[in-house]
Amino acid sequence: MLTVMKFGGTSVGSPEAIERVAKIVAGTEGKKAVVVSAMSGITNFLVGVCKDVPGLREETLKTFEEKHLAVANALFQGERLEAFMKDFTPRLEAFRAVLYDDDARLNDPYYVDNVTSQGERFSSLLLSHKLQDMGIPSVALTSEDAGVTAVGRPLNGEGDLAACGRNMGVNTALVIAKGIVPVITGFYGVTADHHVLTFGRGGSDYAAAVVANALNADMLEIWTDVDGFMSADPRIVKGAVKIDEMTYAEASELAYFGAKVLHPRTIEPVRKKHIPLKVRNSFKPEEPGTLISQFRKPKNELLRSVAAKTDLSILTIGSPEIAYRPDITAKILSKISENNDAIYSISTSLSTLAVLIHNNDVKDTLKRLNDLEDSDVERIDVTADMALICCVGDNLMTTVGVSGEIFGAVKDAQANVNMISEGASAVSLNFVVPMDQAMAVVSALHHKFVEE
């Protein structure tokens, strides 16, 4: 039995948290591989640093060093502290070299990936040394050491699952076979030409899923700071409740459309190998958490969980002939997708095509659409600052009156619906409202279907 255990930023954010996590690892039966995030706040700090690297180099190193050494000094003494420092000092020097590499800063498109990946390189050292201090054989592995291979554009990488399987099958599997617990850096992988490539913010969940896939794990556990996958974001909805069981389809829809408890792509790598995933609370290890797998016990909950994806824009593209010339739809969509930006929803009418994309992608998308012939595209309207509401529930496609019930709650929140996507997924019903009304809509839906 091999369990891949991922611990998020708050779970490794203090000496007490690291001790708690080390006990969880120690108490887990069978073989284990651990994946960690940076300590909470560190990645945000590094993102800030990137905006002014030459100015802040020494200050950055000092703050960074102090934050990690404060935790190390609270956790370790004597020989253990010395052993920790032996690993810590060269890593800090390597970080220094990155900050002073002006050539890379100016010319390497993956420079920000490299700087922001630094947090995980140090949290993994802290946890691995804590495990060793408890007598558990452990080694801290960077994604480079472990063989986590990535492909894609800067800040938006994905795991190369085949290459990860080949590389980790040699490097990491051997470590595990010897009964040593590897503590692997989350958040990033390495490209074939040795660039550091991050998986997007919150990417350690996804990194752990890639590791689980590569090692053919029996279980992936995502340890975080809430009791499991909940019926809504507990920061928005006070009455949110924990869900016991979900399917891959349900969890992936919600994660993709805004449930920040899992990185949007976490489910893909584990679903491919039918590896069950649990979301658990590292502050309450006695709680069973949420089990996510292919199937679950049937329930009859119209709405099981609701999420909101914010900062989106609707492009409404007018073309009088769309209905008669399907090639126009194809041309428009291929222009929009040229840069590989996400399209969150599509809807058509006789003479318009509405496409939902991220606010940040609008400018470049409009530029590309400008290349199309005037006879193909007559006009484009942009409605910015929209939010997509994703409702996941049972029998959404087969229950008469579901939409009426759901949109009734939206009406109660006095929100206007700008776009609807229903029928595309058997497990979810999505619609778009103005962003400033999204939280009211989520609360109204949750109140009507979950709390009442």
Taking CB atoms, the residue at the shortest distance from Mg ion is 202
Per-residue interface string for the shown chain with ligand ADP, residues 111-150, x marking contact by CB under 6 A: ----------------------------------------
Asked if residue 157 binds ligand ASP (CB under 6 A), the reply is no
Q: Three-state SS for 29?
A: coil
Structure tokens at 430: 């999505």
Asked if residue 189 binds ligand ASP (CB under 6 A), the reply is no
Asked if residue 202 binds ligand ADP (CB under 6 A), the reply is yes
Pick left, alpha or beta for residue 174 (phi over 0 → left; psi -120 to 50 → alpha; otherwise beta): alpha
Q: Three-state SS for 247?
A: strand
Q: How many CB atoms lie within 10 A of CB 413?
A: 18
Structure tokens at 275: 């590896």
Query: Is the Cβ of residue 230 or residue 441 nearer to Mg ion in the bound state?
Result: 230
Asked if residue 9 binds ligand ADP (CB under 6 A), the reply is yes
At residue 68, what are phi and psi to the nearest 5 degrees?
-80, -35
- When binding is defined by CB under 6 A, the residue of 261, 387, 409, 413 that contacts ligand ADP is 261
Identify residues 294-333 at the interface with ligand ADP (CB under 6 A): 305
Query: Is the Cβ of residue 188 or residue 449 nearer to Mg ion in the bound state?
Result: 188
Residue 450 is given by DSSP the state: I
Asked if residue 233 binds ligand ADP (CB under 6 A), the reply is yes
Distance in Å, CB of 205 to ligand ASP, minimum = 6
- When binding is defined by CB under 6 A, the residue of 4, 5, 7, 9 that contacts ligand ASP is 9
Q: How many CA atoms does the CB half-sphere of 252 hold within 13 Å? A: 18
H-assigned helices in 76-225 = 78-100, 102-107, 111-116, 118-133, 143-146, 161-177, 204-214
At residue 275, what are phi and psi to the nearest 5 degrees?
-90, 120
Distance in Å, CB of 311 to Mg ion, minimum = 18
Asked if residue 431 binds ligand ADP (CB under 6 A), the reply is no
Asked if residue 266 binds ligand ASP (CB under 6 A), the reply is no
Stretch that binds ligand ASP, among 36-44, 106-114, 140-148, 386-394 (CB under 6 A): 36-44
Q: How many CB atoms lie within 10 A of CB 36?
A: 34
Asked if residue 64 binds ligand ASP (CB under 6 A), the reply is no
Q: Three-state SS for 413?
A: coil
Query: Is the Cβ of residue 60 or residue 143 nearer to Mg ion in the bound state?
Result: 143
Shortest CA distance to 269 belongs to which of 231, 217, 234? 217
Question: Long-range contacts: 258-262, Cβ < 8 Å, 24+?
Answer: 258/307, 258/308, 258/309, 258/310, 258/388, 258/390, 259/229, 259/233, 259/305, 259/307, 259/390, 260/202, 260/233, 261/224, 261/226, 261/229, 261/230, 261/233, 262/205, 262/222, 262/229
Residue 187 binding: pick among ligand ADP, Mg ion, ligand ASP, none (C-beta 5-8 Å cut-off by kind): ligand ASP
Beta strand 156-159 with 31-36 is unpaired
Written as one letter, the residue type at 447 is: H
Residues 76 and 83: their CA atoms lie apart, in Å, by 10
Residue 233 binding: pick among ligand ASP, Mg ion, ligand ADP, none (C-beta 5-8 Å cut-off by kind): ligand ADP
Query: Is the Cβ of residue 237 or residue 255 nearer to Mg ion in the bound state?
Result: 255
Distance in Å, CB of 229 to Mg ion, minimum = 12
Distance in Å, CB of 336 to ligand ASP, minimum = 27
- When binding is defined by CB under 5 A, the residue of 159, 165, 202, 264 that contacts Mg ion is 202
Residue 233 is given by DSSP the state: -
Written as one letter, the residue type at 399 is: T
Asked if residue 37 binds ligand ASP (CB under 6 A), the reply is yes
Residue 43 binding: pick among ligand ADP, ligand ASP, Mg ion, none (C-beta 5-8 Å cut-off by kind): ligand ASP
Stretch that binds ligand ADP, among 80-88, 226-234, 296-304, 428-436 (CB under 6 A): 226-234
Residue 186 binding: pick among Mg ion, ligand ADP, ligand ASP, none (C-beta 5-8 Å cut-off by kind): ligand ASP
Structure tokens at 95: 């970080």
Query: Is the Cβ of residue 279 or residue 355 nearer to ligand ADP in the bound state?
Result: 279
Interface residues with ligand ASP (CB under 6 A) are 8-9, 37-38, 43, 119, 186-187, 201-205
Interface residues with ligand ADP (CB under 6 A) are 8-11, 37, 202, 224-226, 229-230, 232-235, 259-261, 305
Interface residues with Mg ion (CB under 5 A) are 8, 202
